[in-house]
Amino acid sequence: MTLSSPVLGGVVPFLVGIVIVGALIAAVWWGHRLREREPAPPHPHEQPRPPASGPVREVRERREPVEVPRGRQRLTPHQLWGHVGGGSRPAMDQEAPTWDKKGSGASGSGGPGRT
């Protein structure tokens, strides 16, 4: 028999298909075993509950800017914590800033555009 014989032309693809199907079955079996090791999903009584005071709302406020200390050495994030993170306070003016009436609000020169 030669490689071009009709028997080998049908048997080789069939065997390759059997190997692929076997690999897929093994992958599903292995995935199922890994999934069994994972912890079970939480029960309904283990789910988080909203606070008794009601749902938490988003707070939007403007904060006063805090000046970053200047020095000769570069500051690392943990050195900035006392200055930037904890030092800000609510701004006196809580009104949101508005766009300049003359500007377009988009990037560019802010000119009148095409006239």
Instruction: Say what the pLDDT of residue 78 is.
Output: 73
pTM of the model: 0.36
The average pLDDT across 71-85 equals 68
Considering only CA atoms, which of 69, 60, 61 is closest in space to residue 87?
69
Between CA 107 and CA 113 the distance in angstroms is 12
Considering only CA atoms, which of 59, 62, 65 is closest in space to residue 92?
62
Torsion angle (degrees, nearest 10) of CA 27, 30, 36, 38: -80
pLDDT classification of 61: cutoffs 50, 70, 90? confident
Could you tell me what percent of the chain has a pLDDT over 70?
70
CB-based contact 77:70 (threshold 8 Å): no
Between CA 77 and CA 86 the distance in angstroms is 13
